[in-house]
Structure 1
Amino acid sequence: MMLPAIFGNFAIDDLVFPDGTTRWAVPGGSAAYAALGAALWAGSASAVAPLGDDYPLALLSAIDTTRCRQIPHTMRNWGLYEEDGSRCFVSRSRDRDWSLFCPSISDVHTGRQTAAHLAPMPFARASELIDELRRCEARIISLDLDNHDVSEPVTRDEQLEQIRAVDLFLPSKQDMQRIFPGLPVALALRQLRECAPAVALIAIKCGAAGVVAHIAGSQQILSLPSAARSVADTTGAGDAFCGAVLAGFASHADPLQALLQGTIAAACCVEAFGLSGLRKVDRKTLEERLRLAQNHVESSLF
């Protein structure tokens, strides 16, 4: 099977946590976390993202970086975490135009992909990439939304049109609040499904509360609790989830199995600092955790 392709960015982050502790110059970025999440289940994944020569490549040994376009330096962010689990990433002033650190249309043609994930990036760039990936015969496209320096004036209708163009929509709870302000997660999911009936899978990431999802045509809403045994650092967990879901869906087209693989990837991510939790997991451990997670899936009428 062709490697899943992750379109996103690399970053080096300075993090401030709710208890006042800090971690400086932490290598990360959506491309790194999502590609490592996919690699847990697919063996490897292809990152398609601009890559600065200041990024420690040794951390990406499980990822194919041959499609990464070289740029002078990696994007730098402030990452500010709140007590309620929310967080805000803000680019340093010299890196404020973060589209410069995202893949471009030409990057689609650096290789072939049957399955591609679009990590958070400016709305217009994501739409262009979706169109180009379809022209290049990508069969499965997953989408996460931009919550990084959100400034583009995007209407709800425009956002819904973009969502309808993909196969797997994997937003955060905060993303859904921007689309359907004030609605509880389950009700927002129902509203979205009415607007996008053909999207194969919609899965809303709810942090420590797990994932709420709906499979196209199903009469059930699925609830998957977090599989994390401890929490050291939540950075990148949503990206790891998305990469693993794409890899699972592309491999066997079983949405529930793909969701379970995503929850395991997110759990591995949060149990250690930075990228390390996704780099030190053997296949036997993954399969054992997957079997345990299957016993905790709940459903309710849609």
Structure 2
Amino acid sequence: MSDHPAVFGNFAIDDLVFADGSTRWGVPGGTAAYAALGAALWTGGATAVAPLGGDYPQSLLTRVDCSRCRIIPHTMRNWGLYEDDGTRHFVSRNRDRDWSGFCPTSEDAATGTQSTAHLAAMPLLRTQSLIAHLRQQGASTLSLDVDNHDLQQDGSSAQAHIDLIRLVDLYLPSQQDVARLLPGLPPTVALRRLRDYAPNTSLIAIKMGEAGVLAHVAGSDDCIRLPSVARAVVDTTGAGDAFCGGALAAYAEGLGPLDAIVQGSVSAALCVEGWGWEGLLQVSEDVKRERSADARSRVAKTTF
């Protein structure tokens, strides 16, 4: 099996419109890129498993192994719209609206094996298929981010999403995703509801942007809250995916759920402190140790 975590997701080239009216055009990104770099920050490398367009600047993805990426004619193109309250809306261009064509398949998963893998946001049926395939291959640790498009279009899919939570080891949704799944519930109440749905999932962590992360470890009497540890905010693109990669990396290294929360938070912080993914590159061991210690000192626990 691969020594490094594998990330199943997509690559994209985005045209971004920020809340202050500023724009950035033709920015390489995608869930696979940010999650893999967020993991590689801690493990020294990560494997991306995602369709890869020939127009994507693959050479910029240092420490990411793209050898299992299936080459496709072009990269998915999106509009990314950012709101003042931190919410984001990504809309694919017309020709790329069926984004399942830019997500990995079970055939892509069969190109290798891995003990730890992250499934980034994808269409529901694709996620179900990949989880089943990866478990059959022997993957012992799976983390999951979710796509709220299905919930937005058809509320009846909520139960299918809940069923997915029970099949993975780390469930790492954004607050925006949770609000779609469990509308009207405050984050702490939503976290308890998610734990009721999936009592055996090792870690459930809700990513809340500048408010940090709210998490619960299976069997614990405590709720864990860690505020954002970002020291500046330049660009929030990819921060949630970077968190997922950093969190999975802790499990890949044999560490525990608190380490996952800390590493995920540091990966997210370093991501938002630069444009695109530049903050995740060339980070020294001393910086990682200092940032991890700072994050750990900010962890607060309350009765769950």
TM over 0.5: yes
The CA distance in 2 between the partners of 1:42 and 1:34, in whole Å, is: 12
Q: Which residue number in structure 1 is paired with residue 135 of structure 2?
A: 134
In 1, the alpha carbon distance for the partners of 2:27 and 2:250 equals 28
1:51 has 2:70 as partner = no
Partner of 2:292: 290
2:280 to 256, 278, 281: 278
Residue by residue over 1:5-62, the C-alpha shift from the partner in whole angstroms, topping out at 9 and shown as x without a partner, is 0000000000000110000000000000000000000100000000001011221121
Structure 1 range deviating more: 129-138 or 1-10: 1-10
Alignment match, 2:179: 177
The question of 1:71 aligning with 2:57 is answered no
Aligned equivalent of 1:159, options 158, 161, 173: 161
Runs of 5+ in structure 2 lacking a partner?
none
Report the identity percentage: 58
Aligned to 1:80: 81
Superposition RMSD in Å: 1.2
Letter in 1 for 2:125: A
SS of match in other structure, 1:252: coil
Structure 1: runs of 5+ lacking an equivalent: none
Partner residue of 1:215? 217
Structure 1 residue runs of 4 or more that deviate by more than 4 Å after TM superposition: 148-152
**Residue 270 (structure 2) aligns with:** 268
Matches within 5 A, 1:8-47: 8-47=9-48
Task: Give the one of 234, 248, 251 matched to 2:250.
Answer: 248
Distance 2:230 2:150 in 1: 29
Letter in 1 for 2:218: A
Is residue 123–residue 152 contact of structure 1 (8 Å, CA) maintained in 2? no
TM-score by length of 2: 0.97
**Structure 1 equivalent of residue 5 of structure 2:** 4
CA distance in 2, matches of 1:119, 1:294: 26
The whole-number CA distance in structure 2 between the counterparts of 1:217 and 1:44 is 32
Q: Secondary structure at the match of 1:13?
A: strand
CA distance in 2, matches of 1:184, 1:244: 26
Equivalence for 1:239: 241
How far is the alpha carbon of 1:195 from its aligned partner? 1.0
Select the residue among 294, 298, 301 that pairs with 1:299: 301
Aligned length: 302
Contact 2:215 2:223 in 1 (8 A): yes
Shift of 1:176: 0.8
Distance in 2, Cα, partners of 1:16 & 1:3: 34
Contact 1:91-1:149 at 8 Å conserved across structures: no
Do the aligned partners of 1:13 and 1:79 also contact (CA within 8 Å) in 2? yes
How far the C-alpha of 1:152 sits from its partner, in A, is 5.3
Distance 1:96 1:41 in 2: 34
State the 1:159 CA deviation.
1.3
Q: 1: CA distance between counterparts of 2:296 and 2:274?
A: 23
- How far 1:151 sits from its partner (Å)? 5.6
- Counterpart-to-counterpart distance in 1, 2:28 and 2:246: 20
| TM-score (norm. length: structure 1) | 0.98
**Would the aligned equivalents of 1:89 and 1:148 in 2 still touch at CA under 8 Å?**
no
Q: Which stretch shows the higher mean deviation, 15-24 or 248-257? A: 248-257
Q: Distance in 1 between matches of 2:292 and 2:105?
A: 35
SS in 2 for 1:12: strand
